[in-house]
Amino acid sequence: MRLRQIEIFYHVYREGSISSAARELHVSQPSVSKVLRYAEDQLGFALFRREKGRLFATPAADELFVEIEDIYNRISAFDRTTQNIRKRKGGHIRFGVLPSLSLDLLPECIATMRLADPEMSFEVTTLHSSEMNLSLLEKRCDICIGFGNEADERLSSQRLGDAELLLVAPFGCEGIPKGEVDLGFLHQADFIGLQDSGPAGVLLSKSMADREIVPHEVVTAHTYHIALSLVSKGVGISVVDQYTAASSSENDLTKHHFVDPLILPVCAVSHRDSQQPELIESCLAALSKVVKLMSSSQN
Amino acid sequence: MRLRQIEIFYHVYREGSISSAARELHVSQPSVSKVLRYAEDQLGFALFRREKGRLFATPAADELFVEIEDIYNRISAFDRTTQNIRKRKGGHIRFGVLPSLSLDLLPECIATMRLADPEMSFEVTTLHSSEMNLSLLEKRCDICIGFGNEADERLSSQRLGDAELLLVAPFGCEGIPKGEVDLGFLHQADFIGLQDSGPAGVLLSKSMADREIVPHEVVTAHTYHIALSLVSKGVGISVVDQYTAASSSENDLTKHHFVDPLILPVCAVSHRDSQQPELIESCLAALSKVVKLMSSSQN
DNA sequence: GCGAAGGCATAGCCTTGGTCTATAACTTTG
DNA sequence: CAAAGTTATAGACCAAGGCTATGCCTTCGC
């Protein structure tokens, strides 16, 4: 079946009539009639029964429509993408970024880069650490930003700056010292853990294991949002990276540095043989600048 | 972009060369070259850079390929569907069925119907109770089989037979009488509940509420499979319909009827103005027969 | 360093998918 | 019974997409 035949079947099925499908498609009625008939000839079975000058969908049409509807929607989305590409003036970068960096760090970076070059456009997808390399290698995105970097010789990684893990506690939580907190504070404390939290989780559990610190994990949350919400409700304390902490809208919680800071590298990874190396390079420079700025301004 | 252009772009991108794409598509090299060039003209931007007689994908091509790949796969699936429809001799019925009925009751029905008419073909999707009516109205399936029936005047419902809820307990569970069990047995018992279990869940909780029976729900499972597995491991007891109980591969559990049986109607629902009423009708008759047979043979 | 091999592009030709206008036939409705 | 709706057919036309033949450029092996 040709694309035009699919489009016409889609509209005729939905409208229930050739004439109104023709109006919707801005073509003549005989044109639609002919294409539909031709499609049926090629398929070898009828899509509609003609009775008393009207159309009635056959069971085969019902069955095909289920698949066609989906295809049609994707083709429409694809067409929009081609429009966007055509209209573009400046460069276009597709970011893959950790959920925890997607609310604060990346928007800040994009805003800065747009100031420098208002013609540029961006695309943002959230990815987990484990998906980033594959996404880059399949050229589904251009730059991935996460904590740490898995080695792959086709990819190049650049450290943008550091992220610090902070203790978050309910407002007025007792026993927390004024200044910095020792990691040992977590021992036996009511703790809200994060499942599948990638390098940040690895760093934290390793540091705790080294000192035989065992918190009392009362809840294991699957998203940072839920974890922070639980903290602000006084369920327990938690440890998250500074960007997650900064992006939180909860105001019933306090943030604390550790005496021995837990530092993670914030890295940008990209494909070595990109088709637009200068663009990537300038983006990485801008990112690095913004990350350093944000790290120093935050407390 | 035309469908042919999409196909050709897909193969050229994957193969990395026009010639090998042409070989794969069983057409001549100039043909592919021409269509690709034409597509680029229409799009208004290049998909590949030509350098030293070779092709290199542009960033735009990378971006489009992400969407194209998906579309291409669906088109291929669609083509297979049209092939299937063309080859069909007998009727074709698309069933929507509860997960609990999909492993035992429906396969049995289909086997029986295929014996009666070997030319018939079938399609089975599992649906939850709440999705069935919509699926029928959108003509995504022809017959839905579930417990009970929500009224909609465009649909017609037929009671095929009954399903009984049974108590399932770990093998050698103490305190269970030889014959039938009173529902009161559940009171304070370690119980494995099922989330979102539809009419069966409603019937059970209503019956328990009437007699103020409150089990101790130690686990809430999301699938019958997990619930039964937990029962067989001795975590607790549970209540499931007879078909789920029968389809279970667990053999470390026992099944028990209740003194006052909990009975649910097994109903088949179909669209009133189907294009193939005789086919639907004969299916419903066969279904009804099989359900009655299975109900009586089971204990 | 030169010829062979393989890659892409162009030219010229042909088939067919898809468009139009004009017209006919049939249904339903006022 | 006419008016307004529907679908189907006829004939003309254009462009999408296929083919063969050919030429040019790069790379590789002798």
Q: Does B69 touch chain A (CB under 8 A)?
A: no
Q: What is the pLDDT of residues A143-191, one digit of tens each?
A: 999 997 777 888 999 998 888 899 999 887 777 877 888 998 888 888 9
Whether B2 CB is under 7 Å from strand D: yes
Closest Cβ opposite residue B67 in set A45, A62, A81: A81
Rounded Cα gap, residues A181 and A264, in angstroms: 18
Contacts with B, A 22-51, CB within 8 Å: 43-45, 49
Rounded Cα gap, residues B71 and A2, in angstroms: 14
> Do B63 and A92 make contact, defined as CB atoms within 8 angstroms?
yes
Low-confidence ranges of chain B (pLDDT < 50): 299
- With tokens 């069909």, the residue in question is B88
Q: What is the pLDDT of residue A130?
A: 87
Whether A222 CB is under 7 Å from strand D: no
Q: With CA atoms as reference, report the closest residue to B101 among B266, B243, B265, B240.
A: B243
Whether B34 CB is under 7 Å from strand D: yes
Strand C footprint nucleotides (protein C-beta < 7 Å):
6-12, 17-23, 25-28
Q: What is the pLDDT of residues B102-134, one digit of tens each?
A: 888 899 889 989 888 899 999 999 999 889 999
Average pLDDT of the residues of chain A: 88
Between CA A60 and C1' C21 the distance (Å) reads 33
Share of chain A above pLDDT 70, in %: 98
Q: Does A7 touch chain B (CB under 8 A)?
A: no
> Six-digit token pair at A197?
């939290």
Rounded Cα gap, residues A215 and A207, in angstroms: 12
Q: What is the pLDDT of residues A49-79, one digit of tens each?
A: 988 888 999 999 999 999 999 999 999 999 9
Q: What is the pLDDT of residues A79-108, one digit of tens each?
A: 999 999 998 888 899 999 998 888 888 888
Indicate whether A200 pLDDT > 90. no
Using DSSP, state whether B60 is helix, strand or coil. helix
Q: What is the pLDDT of residue B271?
A: 92
Q: What is the pLDDT of residues A19-50, one digit of tens each?
A: 999 999 999 999 999 999 999 999 999 999 98
Least reliable range by pLDDT among A118-127, A275-284, B15-24, B149-158: B149-158
Asked if A128 and A198 count as a contact pair (C-beta separation under 8 A), the reply is yes
Indicate whether A296 pLDDT > 70. no
Rounded Cα gap, residues B50 and B97, in angstroms: 54
Average pLDDT over residues A272-288: 88
Q: How close, in Å, is residue A71 to chain B by CA atoms?
A: 6
Q: What is the pLDDT of residues A218-274, one digit of tens each?
A: 888 888 888 888 888 888 899 998 888 887 777 788 889 999 999 999 999 999 888
What's the predicted TM-score (pTM) here?
Answer: 0.85
Indicate whether A298 pLDDT > 60. no
Residue of chain A nearest B74, judged by CA positions: A71
Q: CA end-to-end span of chain B, whole Å?
A: 61
Closest nucleotide to B25, Cα to C1': D18
> Do A59 and B275 make contact, defined as CB atoms within 8 angstroms?
yes
Closest nucleotide to A50, Cα to C1': D7
Task: Give how far Cα A3 sits from Cα of A10, A102, B138, Å.
Answer: 10, 38, 23
Q: What is the pLDDT of residue A297?
A: 61
Closest Cβ opposite residue A86 in set B45, B57, B79: B45
For B272, residues 6+ apart whose C-beta sits below 8 A from its C-beta are B153, B154, B155, B156
Q: Does A68 touch chain B (CB under 8 A)?
A: yes
Q: What is the pLDDT of residue B294?
A: 76
Q: How close, in Å, is residue B33 to chain A by CA atoms?
A: 20
Asked if A121 and A90 count as a contact pair (C-beta separation under 8 A), the reply is yes
Q: What is the pLDDT of residue A149?
A: 73
* H or E stretch covering A171: none
